[in-house]
């Protein structure tokens, strides 16, 4: 059964429930590590899996999705770094327009190339405004997308970008400092953006502790994404999920 991920995210926002998403980079997983990660994700009640990366080189996306789908029922969204990362085994795909950048290929060019394939697929398409914030280091996503992130001390630019994305009809905003960012996005930027939009706000990049995850939720993030830190220490998945769900049940009670 396919999950209606957009409905899930919109309902969660409406009910003030915060969600925890685990980012899985297929290149960094061998089968036994992925199996272990999935087992922990199930135990931790991870809400969503994001699968993808800015640059995949090992052609393991299909195997990775097969293993996920045969071992758990967690809604799975493709987080594609390129049009080569389209795969029907996921539930949905972030149709990412990189609205913080000024590279037409990332705003609409790649979308035109992907559109006929996506139309034939059974993936749920999630029109998403992707906003890159400077995380204190050059990230793969910034280099590959050939875009400059929004400076970390410019919450007003981030907020105006998100407002424009919502006005254009995008259904989600994904604000990212990039995988492995030195500095995670500040609560100040998160609250500036979340205060201006009604659509769900996903926040990721460089989040290392449950405390920071909860602080982001308090500032207005609806979904917290963690990748790198969980790869290094899979037990952190349990701690992150517990902290976010505990906070969520406190505020939505
Ligand atoms: C990257 O937001 C994700 O796009 C997750 O970042 O790997 O740094 O947790 P990390």
DSSP secondary structure string for all residues of 99-153? TTS--HIIIIIHHHHHHHHHHHS-PEEEEEEEEEB--SS--HHHHHHT-PPBPTT
Mutate to test the pocket of ligand 1, among 21, 23, 81 (most ligand atoms within 8 A of CB): 23
**What is residue 22's DSSP assignment?**
E
Percentage of the chain exceeding pLDDT 90: 92
* Nearest atom of ligand 1 to the alpha carbon of 174: 2
* DSSP H/E element including 48: strand 48-51
pLDDT at 29: 82
pLDDT at 141: 92
Ligand 1 close to Cβ of residue 243 (< 6 A): no
- Residue 246 reports pLDDT greater than 80: yes
Task: Compute the mean pLDDT over every residue in the chain, rounded to the nearest whole number.
Answer: 96
Q: Are 229 and 204 in contact (CB under 8 A)?
A: no
Mutate to test the pocket of ligand 1, among 207, 221, 240 (most ligand atoms within 8 A of CB): 207
C-alpha span between 86 and 61 (Å, rounded):
9
> What pLDDT, in 10s, does the model give residues 104-155?
999 999 999 999 999 999 999 999 999 999 999 999 899 999 999 999 999 9
Centroid of ligand 1 to alpha carbon of 225 (angstroms): 6
Mutate to test the pocket of ligand 1, among 80, 96, 204, 229 (most ligand atoms within 8 A of CB): 204
Ligand 1 close to Cβ of residue 221 (< 6 A): no
> What pLDDT, in 10s, does the model give residues 7-51?
999 999 999 999 999 999 999 888 999 999 999 999 999 999 999
Mean pLDDT calculated for residue range 218-238 = 97
pLDDT at 252: 83
Centroid of ligand 1 to alpha carbon of 203 (angstroms): 9
C-alpha span between 85 and 78 (Å, rounded):
8
CATH homologous superfamily for the domain 5-252? FMN-linked oxidoreductases (3.20.20.390)
Q: Are 65 and 93 in contact (CB under 8 A)?
A: no
**Can you give the pTM of this predicted structure?**
0.98
Q: Are 64 and 101 in contact (CB under 8 A)?
A: no
Closest CA to 158 of 100, 91, 81, 83: 100
Ligand 1 close to Cβ of residue 101 (< 6 A): no
- Residue 168 reports pLDDT greater than 80: yes
Those residues whose C-beta lies under 8 Å from the C-beta of residue 19, and which sit 6 or more positions away, are 9, 12, 47, 48, 222, 223, 224, 244, 248
Ligand 1 close to Cβ of residue 64 (< 6 A): no
């Amino acid at each position: 059964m396919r999950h209606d991920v957009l409905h899930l995210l919109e309902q969660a926002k409406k009910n003030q429930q915060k969600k925890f998403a685990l980012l899985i980079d297929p290149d960094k997983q061998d089968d036994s590590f992925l199996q272990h990660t999935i087992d922990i994700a199930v135990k931790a009640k991870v809400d969503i899996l994001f699968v993808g990366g800015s640059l995949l080189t090992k052609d393991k996306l299909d195997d990775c999705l097969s293993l996920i789908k045969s071992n758990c029922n967690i809604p799975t969204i493709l987080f594609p770094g390129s049009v080569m990362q389209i795969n029907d085994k996921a539930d949905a795909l972030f149709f990412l327009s990189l609205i913080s950048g000024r590279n037409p290929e990332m705003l609409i060019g790649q979308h035109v190339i992907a559109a006929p394939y996506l139309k034939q697929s059974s993936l749920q398409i999630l029109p998403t405004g992707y906003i890159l914030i400077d995380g204190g280091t050059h990230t793969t996503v910034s280099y590959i997308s050939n875009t400059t992130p929004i400076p970390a001390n410019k919450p007003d630019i981030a907020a105006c970008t998100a407002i424009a994305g919502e006005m254009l009809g995008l259904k989600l905003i994904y604000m990212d400092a990039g995988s492995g960012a030195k500095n995670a996005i500040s609560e100040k930027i998160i609250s500036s953006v979340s205060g201006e939009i009604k659509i769900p706000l996903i926040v990721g990049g460089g989040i290392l502790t449950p405390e920071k995850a909860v602080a982001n939720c308090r500032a207005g993030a609806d979904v917290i994404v963690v990748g790198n830190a969980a790869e290094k220490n899979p037990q952190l998945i349990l701690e992150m999920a517990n902290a976010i769900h505990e906070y969520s049940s406190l505020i939505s009670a």
